[in-house]
Structure 1
Amino acid sequence: MSFPTIPIQTKRPLPKNCSFSASDWNVLSSFWHPVALSSEVKDKPVGVQLLDALVVLYRTPEGVNAARDVCMHRGAKLSLGSIRDGALVCGFHGFHYNCEGVCVRIPALPTGSPIPNKLRLQTYLCAERYGFVWVCLAEKPRASLPDWPSIENGSGTVAVVPPGTWQSSAARHVENFNDICHVPWVHTGTFGGPETPIEPYDVSVTDTRLSFQADITERVRYTESGAGPTYRQAVYSYELTLPFASSVKVLDPNTSHVYRIYDIASPVSASCIRIFQVVVDESRLTPAEALIDFTMRINAEDAPQVESQSPDQLPLDLRDEIHIPADRMSIEYRRALARLGLGAQAVS
């Protein structure tokens, strides 16, 4: 399979103390990443970090906007300011910026005085979908947002999980989410089933997605308190949208009930991520609060293992770690990241 060469649009300066290589930053900055819940960006500016860049989010009548978290006057953080009359106001000297990042008012200037044209923020592409605020640091994104219609089509109970922070690289987390080998060992308190061999499976590979399906013996979720574990066969269908967005559809063949988990690792830095997740229960048998609680318990089992991995960056040279047949998805993911241009020295 040949993969098209997609030109990287962004050539903006690297953030101060950038933890990524220049080539990796230029690749990753050209994709969309979630940075906050939509519900977090209300009547005050919100400061976030993406790929080591400090970003301010602010809501105006036109929607949510994103800009470099620096006032062009004296370099103060705009996230320490406020929203007034539909504008972002710096808390240091009161400079007002509109949805396009243009300074529209300076309180210290006499009425009628011109505002310098250079008083314009460095803005970023910003969008809202799936209950998240997404930002792309490049002038033009390489790809669109993940296509997850089940979150929006009313097919089931939708639960947005509170974001969590992991001391890990995004790719290590993504690989773990799509790994079926660890389930019986790590998830003993949630959905892990008995230790069984994993049958060979095929991975479908396109220029933007990886997917595979496997039959898994899992522990029945949401059993009554005090009841012993019971198990069932389920069909797991994974889909990974490059670079860091994953989903899994869990089908119970006996009842035809479907349970979906959507997961995105947003790179705060090379070694720190925020996890954004949405759960959809198409059976509608479980309340949203229980879906959230169960997902957070799963995360609590995963995080210590992923955070302990060494090196924390996912090796893209396949010779650097040992692989078994059940690692087929992991192998294809590492190859796909290398084809994107990550890990300039990687060998696939």
Structure 2
Amino acid sequence: MSSPHGVDVKYGLLWVAPQASSTSLPALPEGLWPIDDRTFCLVDSWSATASQIIDNFIDVTHFPFVHADTFGQKGRLDVRRLSEVDDGFECEVSARGKRLIGGGNSDDVEERILTYRYYFPFSLALTIAYPRRGIFDRIFLALQPETTQSTLVYKLVLRGEGANLSEEQAREEALLQRQITAEDKNMVQQLPLSGIDLRSYEERHVLLDEPTRLLRKVMLSKLSGGE
């Protein structure tokens, strides 16, 4: 077996490059991603392409129905900010969702501000701010294509920044995140295994289509450039 081109440890994950990489590792904002006892990582294999999983992760329009049993809530969704950067893009979305207390559902609905940062090709960071409570959740998604029809999903989660969670609450939060991830997996695995149509990057029916449209544009631009 030949030696890998590069090996690195970052964000609590081991990164291995079998060959020379066309891009560097995602540069998450320094100081915002401590790897400590509040952090846990979900690892699972999905019968879906990496592009489908990324596309689903930034599609906020599916919240009310895919996540109806967890935080999904019908209501206004607003794209507040969207900007393209060298190795991906950033967007900020305002959404209202159920406040989850003790791992269960509540009738209490609260605003959440979701800030996405996509890194080409298959990494994405998400910060979820809850303004009323002054706390943050952070999620980092790293995808490793296994075959043309399966992807290994690494989901690093830092829950409850700014909140003093008990050990029991931390366990409940971990179980809740597994449930949310299972909801996404169940939906994505029902899609045809054909990736996403990059030619559709010019389509935008409503403003909420803009993040997924920009994902296609960035992917097409990078791939057309030979990356």
TM over 0.5, yes or no? yes
The TM-score normalised by the length of structure 2 is: 0.86
SS of corresponding position for 2:172: helix
Give CA deviations for 1:204-256 in whole Å, capped at 9, x if unaligned.
1012121111111011123465x643210111111111111111111111221
Matched with 1:171 is: 51
Paired residues for 1:84-233 under 5 Å: 121-139=2-20, 141-148=21-28, 149=30, 150-152=32-34, 158-193=38-73, 195-223=74-102, 228-233=106-111
Whole-Å Cα distance in 2 between the matches of residues 124 and 283 of structure 1?
39
Shift of 1:167: 0.4
Once residues 145 and 242 of structure 1 are traced to their aligned partners in structure 2, the CA distance between those partners, rounded to angstroms, is 10
Give the alignment of 1:211-290 within 5 angstroms: 211-223=90-102, 228-281=106-159, 282-286=161-165, 287=167, 288-290=170-172
RMSD: 2.5
Give the superposition deviation at 1:329: 0.4
CA distance in 1, matches of 2:115, 2:188: 22
Q: Distance in 1 between matches of 2:217 and 2:157?
A: 28
Q: Which runs of 5+ in 1 are unaligned?
A: 1-67, 69-120
CA distance in 2 between counterparts of 1:258 and 1:298 reads 17
The alpha-carbon distance between structure 1 residues 198 and 136, as it changes in their structure 2 partners (threshold 3 A), is same
The match for 1:303 is: 185
Structure 2 distance, partners of 1:223, 1:144, is: 39
- Alpha carbons 1:264, 1:277 under 8 Å: kept: yes
The 3-state SS of whatever aligns with 2:117 is strand
Task: Report the alpha carbon displacement of residue 320 of structure 1 after superposing the two structures with TM.
Answer: 10
Q: Tell me the amino acid that sits aligned with residue 8 of structure 2.
A: A
Q: Give 3-state SS (helix, strand or coil) of 2:200's partner.
A: coil
Indicate conservation of the 8 Å contact 1:203/1:332, yes or no. Answer: no
- Relative distance call for 1:192 and 1:123 in structure 2 (3 A) is same
| Greater length-normalized contact order (CA 8 Å, ≥ 6 residues apart) | 2
Work out the CA distance in 2 between the residues paired with 1:224 and 1:273: 28
Using the TM superposition, give the Cα deviation of residue 308 of structure 1 relative to its aligned residue in structure 2, in angstroms: 1.4
* Partner Cα separation in structure 2 for residue 211 and residue 319 of structure 1: 16
SS in structure 1 of the partner of residue 183 of structure 2? helix
Q: 2:80, 2:94 within 8 Å by CA — same for their partners in 1?
A: no
The structure whose residues are more often helix, as a share, is 2
Letter of the structure 1 residue corresponding to residue 179 of structure 2: R
The change in CA–CA distance for 1:343 and 1:307 in structure 2 (over 3 A counts) is farther
Write out aligned runs for 1:9-20 (5 A): none
CA distance in 1, matches of 2:33, 2:202: 38
Describe the SS at the equivalent of 1:210.
Answer: strand
Of structures 1 and 2, the larger Rg is shown by 1
Structure-2 change in CA distance of 1:294 and 1:205 (3 Å): same
CA distance in 2, matches of 1:208, 1:320: 19
Report the CA distance between 1:159 and its aligned residue.
2.1
The alignment partner of 1:312 has SS state of coil
Secondary structure in structure 2 of the residue aligned to 1:317:
helix
CA contact (8 A) 2:70 2:100 kept: yes
The answer on whether the counterparts of 2:51 and 2:122 sit within 8 Å (CA) in structure 1 is yes
TM-score by length of structure 1 reads: 0.58
The amino acid that maps onto 1:299 is T
**Conserved in 2, the CA contact under 8 Å of 1:161 and 1:295?**
no
Richer in strand (by share): 2
After TM superposition, give the deviation of residue 311 of structure 1 in Å.
4.7
Where in structure 2 are there 5+ consecutive unaligned residues? none
CA contact (8 A) 1:202 1:328 kept: no
